[in-house]
Chain A
Amino acid sequence: MKTIERYAVPIFLVVMALLPHLLDSRWQAVAITFLIFSVVALSQDIILGKSGMFNMGQALFFGMGAYITAILNSQFGWPLLATIPLAILVPALFGILLAGPIVHLRGDYLLVVTIGFNIVFVQVVQNNLGGVTGGPNGIFGLDALSLFGRQLTSQVSVYYFAFAVLLLTLWIMRNLEKSKAGRALHYLREDQLAAESIGINTRIYKIFAFGLGAGIAGLAGTVYATQYAAVSPEAFEFIQSVLFFSIVLVGGSSVPGILIGVFVMFVLPEIFREFATWRFFIFGFAMILAMILRPRGIWPATFGKIPKFLIKETNHGA
């Protein structure tokens, strides 16, 4: 594990940093998609994997960030990068407000309620509430990226924007794991009652996880709106949430597992385009098979420096 961390991580980062110069524009777009969806899947991991809350509405926060960027840019003429603070804060605030009354719910109920939030969100933007969301067509024709008054129209600059967001996300997750909050989330996921009995305010930390996950997903939404210069309701349907949910669990809630999951779910279909109609049929079987063979995911996350023989095979999340 140590050697992997020492060699694989720098190699991955260097390859990702050089990648846009090795690809043509179509594959650059695929790579950007990979980066964006990785960030969303990692933000989902904070809520689902790290904290053990059955959240199946992550596309809501992703979409909210994208819509905020799109509305501020198209209606009010804000530069795309200037929308970032609101695209993080508003979803985070919504995450906190929505989570407040529901985090105490048992797993499956939480799952259905978060699906519900997602569906309400899509219906709200589809019905063009307030006349700013563009209805079923969405909003299109956003500006290109600009930094200090310079237009950055090339796709490569979008790539580096997305890459920077991914690096930021990875950095946040690394720090989270080593922080007091990360330990608290880990304990409450393993055993909520025990966590409470040693003085962890589980309610606050659960809401915190929702807020953090929602904020990062919102930032990914800004990158999404930048890349496609458009947003539309169907990109944030709850079926997307289902995919992110599955990626985190099949991946095993670890960074490599999740990146592999995003790669398989969103990049492989681009390589094997002739099998496009078979895509979800095959993924369905793969999900069942992965769970039967490796119930804890293909690359299960480890926490802290606890020796392996001391870890009990628990049914966490049960």
Chain B
Amino acid sequence: MDIFLQQLANGLTIGSMFALVALGYTMVYGVMRLINFAHGDMVAASAFVGLTIYTQVMGQATSLVAVIVIFLLSALVMAVVGVILERLAYRPLREAPRLSAVVSALGASLVIQNGIMLIWGPRMRIFPELVPQVYWDLGGVVISLIQVIILVLSLVLMVALYLFVEKTRMGAAIRASSIDQDAARLMGINVNNVIALIFIIGSSLGAVGGLFIGLYYRGITFNMGWQYGLYAFIAAILGGIGNIPGAMLGGMLLGLFNAFIAGYVSSTWADAFTFILLILILIVRPTGILGERVAEKV
């Protein structure tokens, strides 16, 4: 029972990081029908940007204000990078064959990943200890302050995003663009702005996810983006790609699944089990858990 509860806590923590990153994938896919392969590397870049802001700008301060500034600045930097990425690598290919955009996304991923390596070096860097190491022992289950912060902050961000998309005019524009871009354009929605907005939101949520990864795992490497990106993308598919609550649910479920595999089977097989789960889900229900059954456009 202790293992179960401990892995439940760990799984929810990992899951909320997956969910934050998955939101970036699912929103971009929803509107552009494109797997933004560079998103995972943006997440990795955010951890390094956070590290540099901590050492260069904040003078290694770990006060609450400093931590908030690090989060906001990193999110801002990544939002700018996201908009530039869309402008340079994706917008010129919006009318091109589908696969051209996929190759462009792969190219962007290589550029960002190796850009990180050229700037910060190929070795693992240690992310600063921004949050004090506080642990609570709840009858055999150990929960850290970091885990609580990650879980609470992720939930707050996800609820805020959900309300934004469902209740505001801009959110309605996003939903309309993801149903039918041309019709949305006819209704007077500036789809280019919607796509820029999506990249701003997705990249800053991914940035927060990247900082969480740094806080939780401590070691950050330039090529970790593919790993987390792939997991987050699987989470988005699990929940039903293009579906925002689906990405949140998918992330949580995938985090729990991973934690239980690590707890009960072995962490060396975690990737294999995750992909076998994905393959089974896609064979049984290709639209994911919350995705609607849509007929293939002919």
A residues in contact (CB < 8 Å) with B: 54, 101-102, 105-109, 111-113, 115-117, 119-120, 123-124, 126-127, 193, 239, 242, 245-246, 249-250, 277-281, 283-288, 290-292, 295-296, 315-318
Closest residue on chain A to residue B109 by CB atoms: A284
Residues of A within 8 A of B278 (CB): 112-113, 116
Question: At the interface, yes or no: B276 with Cβ under 8 Å from chain A?
Answer: yes
What are 13 sample pairs from A and B whose C-beta atoms fall under 8 A apart? A102-B283, A107-B98, A112-B35, A112-B233, A116-B275, A116-B278, A117-B279, A123-B271, A124-B272, A242-B106, A281-B110, A284-B109, A288-B111
- Which of B52-60, B114-122, B249-257 is the interface stretch? B114-122
Shortest beta-carbon distance, B182 to chain A, in Å? 15
Question: At the interface, yes or no: B168 with Cβ under 8 Å from chain A?
Answer: no
Question: At the interface, yes or no: B184 with Cβ under 8 Å from chain A?
Answer: no
8 new A-B contacts at CB < 8 Å, known A102-B282, A106-B286, A250-B103 = A108-B33, A119-B272, A277-B122, A281-B110, A288-B104, A292-B104, A295-B93, A318-B97
Count how many chain B residues have C-beta atoms less than 8 Å from C-beta atoms of the other chain: 48
Residues of A within 8 A of B276 (CB): 116, 120
Shortest beta-carbon distance, A112 to chain B, in Å? 6
Shortest beta-carbon distance, A251 to chain B, in Å? 11
Shortest beta-carbon distance, A290 to chain B, in Å? 8
Question: At the interface, yes or no: B230 with Cβ under 8 Å from chain A?
Answer: yes
Interface of B: prevailing SS: helix
Residues of B within 8 A of A245 (CB): 103, 106
- Using A105-B286, A109-B282, A318-B98 as known contacts, say yes or no to A287 and B114 having CB atoms under 8 A apart: no
Contacting pair B282 A292 (CB below 8 A): no
Please pick, from B99, B234, B282, B298, the residue contacting A105 in the complex, using a CB distance under 8 A.
B282
Residues of A within 8 A of B106 (CB): 242, 245-246, 284, 287
Contacting pair A292 B93 (CB below 8 A): yes
- Using A291-B93, A292-B92, A317-B97 as known contacts, say yes or no to A109 and B107 having CB atoms under 8 A apart: no
Question: At the interface, yes or no: B100 with Cβ under 8 Å from chain A?
Answer: yes
Question: At the interface, yes or no: B162 with Cβ under 8 Å from chain A?
Answer: no
Contacting pair A285 B97 (CB below 8 A): no
Residues of B within 8 A of A249 (CB): 99-100, 102-103
Closest residue on chain A to residue B41 by CB atoms: A284
Please pick, from B100, B109, B268, the residue contacting A123 in the complex, using a CB distance under 8 A.
B268
Shortest beta-carbon distance, A60 to chain B, in Å? 12
Question: At the interface, yes or no: B96 with Cβ under 8 Å from chain A?
Answer: yes
B112-152 interface bits toward A, Cβ cutoff 8 Å, 1 = contact, 0 = none:
11110110001000000000000000000000000000000
Q: How far is the CA of A86 from the CA of B282 in the complex (A)?
A: 30
Closest residue on chain A to residue B278 by CB atoms: A116
Contacting pair B286 A284 (CB below 8 A): no
- Using A106-B296, A123-B271, A242-B106 as known contacts, say yes or no to A113 and B279 having CB atoms under 8 A apart: yes
Closest residue on chain A to residue B230 by CB atoms: A115
Q: How far is the CA of A287 from the CA of B104 in the complex (A)?
A: 6
Residues of B within 8 A of A242 (CB): 106
Q: How far is the CA of A105 from the CA of B285 in the complex (A)?
A: 11
Residues of B within 8 A of A279 (CB): 114
Closest residue on chain B to residue A247 by CB atoms: B103
Please pick, from B96, B108, B279, the residue contacting A284 in the complex, using a CB distance under 8 A.
B108
Please pick, from B104, B115, B237, the residue contacting A112 in the complex, using a CB distance under 8 A.
B237
Closest residue on chain A to residue B33 by CB atoms: A108
Q: How far is the CA of A23 from the CA of B104 in the complex (A)?
A: 36
Leading 10 A-B pairs by shortest Cβ distance: A287-B107, A284-B110, A116-B275, A284-B111, A295-B96, A281-B114, A295-B100, A288-B107, A291-B100, A284-B107
